[in-house]
Structure 1
Amino acid sequence: MISRHTVHHSRTTPNPTNNFKCLQWNARGLTKAKLEEFRQFLSLVKPEIILLSETHWKKSFYVKFKAYHILKKNRPNRSGGGVAILINKQLSFTPLPLTPHDTVEAIGVSILSRSNSKIDFISAYVPKGDCEMADVAEIFNRPNPAVIGGDFNGHHDMWESNATANKAGKTIFETILNSQDICLITPNDLGTRIDPASGKISTIDLTMTSSELATSATISIGPSLGSDHLPIFLTLNTTPARISRQPPKWIINENKWADWNHLLDTALIELKFSEIQNPEAATTAFMTGLNGENEKCFKKSNPSRARNSEPSRPWWNAECNTLVKNARIALKNWCKSPTSLHLRTEWKKAEALKKRHIIKAKKEAWSSFISNLGPQDQPRLWTFTKSMLGKGSNLSPDGPLISNNNTTINSPKEKADLFLDRFSSVYPANLPTNDHFYATINSNITSTTHNILNDPITPEELERSLPKSKSKADPPTTPIQHPIYEIPFPSTVEGINRATPPKTRQESRGPFIVPPNLTHFMPLQDHGKSNRKPPTLVPRVQEQNQ
C-alpha cells in the first residue's frame, strides 16, 4: 500500500515538442446548439483526445465529426448518462474491453505511441455518487500507462477544501491509495462545476494518470460551453504514433525543370527504356528513373506534420461569437455574486439567446443557399452540403478566387480560359530535344507490327477511363474549341487510334510539345450550344509528345 502523500498534483511544464493535448468535459447533453458550439470550439483548440461524459445520446441519435473517430457507450435502459471518446483520425488506437457495471459508466481506448508502447484513455461517469471500490479498481488498475478522467460525483477534502466526503469520494480516495501507479493530478479546488441554482463551485470532475505521465502533465480549466461543468485541458509530455491519410507529395521547383528533364532522359537511356517490351518491366524501369531523378531535384512533403482538425462551421458568424462571449461574461458576473437573482437571470437569458441564434444561423444558412439554387448548381450544392457536415475546408462552391491583373476571377469557365492562355505557350527554351524518344515513338507509330502506340483503343479501356471524367457521355464528335488544339473525335470507339496525334496549328513549324507541368487539358463547355459536350480528357496527348 502506498502512502497518502503519493497522491499528488503535478504542474510541471512538459517538453513543448511533445505536447499531447487532451480535453475532458461533462457535456450534460451534447445535442442541438450545444453540439454546434462544441464543434466550433474543437476547431479552435484542436485536442487530440476528448473524454466526454453525460452525452445523453440515444441509440437513434447519429453524430459524426470530420477529424475524430467516435467510441461511445449510451445508457441502454433509461435516458441521461452516456460516455464517449473522440480520437483524432491520425492516431492509431484499439478499444479497451471494460466490464460494464451499474455504478460506473466507462469506455476506453488504447493509443499507440512512437515507441510502440500504449497509453490507455478512459472516460468515466459515476451517476449517483455511489460506486463500489471493485468497480473503480478495475478501471484504475491498468497494465499500460493510463489517463482516467470523468465526472465521479465524488467529494473529498483531498481535492476539495472543506468538503464533506461522500461514498464516491471515499471510494476513489481509497482506490488511489491502494493503486500501485495511479496519481490524482486534479489541483485542489480546481472548480469544475458551477451549480446552476446556487452558483456554488465544486470539484467533482477528476483526472488521474500513471506516475510516469503525472510528473510532466499540466491541467487547466477552459471556458463555459453551455454545461454546468467546465471543460478541462490536459497536456501530456508524450508523442503518439500518427498515421497519415495523405501520401507524401513532391514539392516541385520550377527552376529545376531543365535539369530534371535532362537527368531523366539520361537515366531512361541508361536503363534502355525504349527497348523494353514487357509492360510491367517498362513501368518498373520508368518509375525507377523517375523517382531517382525526383529525389535529386525536388523535395518531398511530410504528411505527418499536418494536423487533422475539425473545420469551423461555415455559417458561424460574428454574432455567434459575440453571443457566446456575452454568455460567458454573464456567467462570470453571476459567480462573483451568486446570491444576486438579477445576475442569474441575465446569465440564463444570455444562454437562451445564444442557443436560439446558433440554431437560427444554421437554418438561415440552409434556407438562403437553397433559395438561390439553380438548375446548374449541382456541384455547388454538394460542396456546400459537405461544408455544413464538416467535410472539406473550401467553403466556396467554385473553389478559391484567382486574381489576374487586378481582376477577380471565380467562374470555372474563366479560370479554364486563363489556365490555357497562360500555359499553352509556356515551354522552357533550354530543355533539350528528345531526339532519341521522338524517333522511337515515330517508328512505333508507323510500324506495321502491333504495339502500344498503334493499337486501337479498346472499348474496355474507354470504359475504365469514363468514371474518371465529369461526364459519362459518349465520345464527342466536335473539336475542342481553343486556339492551341483542334482535335476531331471519330464517331465510333473503334475509330480512335493511339497513333492519331492531336492536330495543332503549329504543324508547319514542327511537332507541338506539351510542357511537363501541363498534364491535363480541361476544355470549356460551349454554353451557347447545349448539344456540344466537349471531352474532359485529351487521350494520351502527353504520352505521344513525351
Structure 2
Amino acid sequence: MFILSIVLVRRNVIHHLLPVPQLQTSYALGVEICIERQPTRVFAFNKPPQNRLAVADVHTLLDSPLPTIVAGDFNAKHTAWNSNIVGPDAHMPDVLDIAVTRGLAAAPSLDVLDDHLISDHQAVLSTLKTTPMTTSLPSPKHRQDWRIFAEHMAEHSPSFKVESPADVDRLATDLSATQSNVLRESRLYAASTRRQPQLPAYIEAMIEEKRKLRRQWQNLRCPIMKTRLNSLAAKISDALVTVADESWHSAIERAGDDWSGMYRLCRLLSGKPSPIRPLMASDGTPRYRAEDQAEIFADYLETQFRPNPTSDVQHVETIKRHLKNYFESPIVPTEDPVVVAYDAQIAYFINE
C-alpha cells in the first residue's frame, strides 16, 4: 500500500525538512519552522486503517525538547477526542483527523472545516496566535506631497544662534529629527485599489451546490449522491481552469503592443519574491536558517583545512625531504624566488 504524506509550506517561511522518522505502524513527514525565533517541528501523520496505533510512534514524534505539532489521519477512535465509539472500526463516519501538540507557548485554536474536502475526511484548521519567521520583505514605497513638506519645513525648521561646536551638533540633530517628522506627515497613504478577482456567478453557484451535496452524502452515504458529487467537483475544476485561461488572455490583450504595456506585464510576472535558497547539510537535508547555514560553512572549512590522511608514509617522508632540500639549496638565477610572508605582510597586501 502506498501512503502519501505532504507538508505544504509558504515559500517565504523559513523552514527545512526533518529526517523521516522510523515508526512501527504509522508514517510521518516533518518540517522545522521558526515561530517567535524558536524552532518548532510540524509533522503530517498517517496511520493505515488496518494497522493498530502504536503508542511508541506518538512518543517518538512528541519526545523532543522542541515544540511539536503532529496532525493528520490517526484512524483511531476514542471518546476523549469526541469520537462516537472506542475501537478501530473505520467503516462508520467518525472523527479520524486529529492534531496533537506539545511544548507550545500558547494552545492553538482548532476548527473543523466540514466543506473543504470531497472525501470523508474533514480538515482540521489549527491556528497559532504567533507568527513564523519569514524572509524580509521590501519596505512599501510611499509618495510624498512635497508642497506639504516645504510648508512644514518652513514652519518647524530649528533656528538659533550658533556659538560653539556643541551648538552645531545640536542644530544638526534637531534638523534631522525635524526632517524625519515632516517626511512622515507629508506622506501620502493611497488606499489600495487592487481587488481580489471575483469568480463568475455560475461557478459560485456550483460550489454552493457541491457543499450541499457533500453534507447530504456525509449523512446518507448514498453511492448515487457520491457520483453526483464527484461529477460536480470535476465540472468546477474545469470551469476554474477555463476562467484562469480567459483571465490570462485578457491580461495579454490589455498589455497591447506598446512597450509600456509589455513592461507592466513583465513587472507583474517577475515581481514575485525570489525563493529562499537553502544549503545542503551533510545528512542531505536542505537548511534555511542562518544558524544552520553557518554551521554548514564551519563544517566545510574544518574539513578543508584538516590534514589529508594517507597510508603511504614513505611517500609523505619523500615529499618532506624534497621540500627541505629545496628550501635549503641556493636559488637558481633563472628561478623566481619563493617569498615567505608573515601575518602582518598578508594583511598589508589585502588592505592594499
Q: Structure 2 length normalisation: TM-score? A: 0.55
What's the counterpart of residue 182 of structure 2? Answer: 297
Residue 353 of structure 1, CA deviation: 1.7
Deviation, 1:319, is: 3.4
User: Cα deviations across residues 97-140 of structure 1 (Å, max 9, x unaligned)?
Assistant: 33443641311213231xx5444333333356636544432211
Aligned to 1:232: 124
SS at match of 1:245: coil
Counterpart check, 1:109 vs 2:109: no
SS at match of 2:205: helix
Secondary structure, aligned partner of 1:83: coil
Q: Is the 8 A contact 1:129 1:153 kept in 2?
A: no
> In the aligned structure 2, how far is the partner of 1:218 from the partner of 1:209?
11
Cα gap change, 1:204/1:289 in structure 2, threshold over 3 Å: closer, same or farther? same
Could you tell me which amino acid in structure 1 is paired with residue 42 of structure 2? F
Pair 1:332-2:253 in alignment:
no
Distance 1:157 1:100 in 2: 28
Q: Any residues of structure 2 matched to 1:134-173 within 5 Å, and which? A: 134-159=56-81, 160-165=83-88
Instruction: Name the structure 2 match of 1:86.
Output: 9
Task: Provide the residue aligned with 2:202 in structure 1.
Answer: 319
Paired letter, 1:234: S
Moved more, 225-234 or 285-294: 285-294
Alignment of 1:434-445 (within 5 A): none
Q: 1:217, 1:236 within 8 Å by CA — same for their partners in 2?
A: yes
CA distance in 2, matches of 1:288, 1:152: 63
2:22 alignment partner, SS class: coil
Q: Does 1:351 align with 2:233?
A: yes
Work out whether residues 75 and 88 of structure 2, in 8 Å CA contact, stay in contact via their aligned partners in 1: no
Aligned 1:147-226 pairs, distance under 5 A: 147-159=69-81, 160-165=83-88, 200-210=92-102, 216-226=107-117
Q: CA deviation at 1:383?
A: 5.2
Q: Which amino acid aligns with 2:150?
A: W
Structure 2: gaps spanning 5 or more residues = 186-193, 274-352
Question: C-alpha root-mean-square deviation of aligned residues, in Å?
Answer: 4.5
Q: Deviations over 1:242-286 (max 9, x none)?
A: 77523377896764632324655859x9999xxxxxxxxxxxx99
- Partner residue, 1:14: none
CA distance in 1, matches of 2:270, 2:198: 13
CA 1:319–1:290 in structure 2 vs 1: closer, same or farther (change >3 Å)?
Answer: farther
Q: Report the counterpart of residue 382 of structure 1 in structure 2.
A: 266
Distance apart, 1:79 and its partner CA = 6.7
1:201 Cα shift? 2.5
Query: Cα–Cα, structure 1 residues 225 and 142, in superposed 2: closer, same or farther, change >3 Å?
Result: same
Distance 2:180 2:264 in 1: 39
Which amino acid counterpart does residue 265 of structure 2 have in structure 1?
Answer: L
Aligned 8 A contact 1:222 1:232 in 2:
yes
Q: List runs of 5+ in structure 1 lacking aligned partners.
A: 1-77, 167-194, 273-284, 301-310, 392-546
Q: CA deviation at 1:293?
A: 1.6
Corresponding position: 1:259 with 2:152: yes
SS in 1 for 2:213: helix
Partners of 1:125 and 1:150 within 8 A in 2: yes
Q: Is the partner of 2:208 in helix, strand or coil? A: helix
Structure 2: distance between partners of 1:271 and 1:101: 74
Are 1:123 and 2:11 an aligned pair? no
Amino acid at match of 2:204: N
1:280 maps to none
| 2:346 aligned residue | none
**Cα distance in 2 for residues equivalent to 1:382 and 1:270:** 57
Deviation (angstroms), 1:156: 3.8
1:328 is paired with a residue whose SS is helix
Identity %: 17
Cα 1:87–1:385 change in 2 (3 A) is closer
Q: Quick check: 1:245 aligned with 2:166? A: no
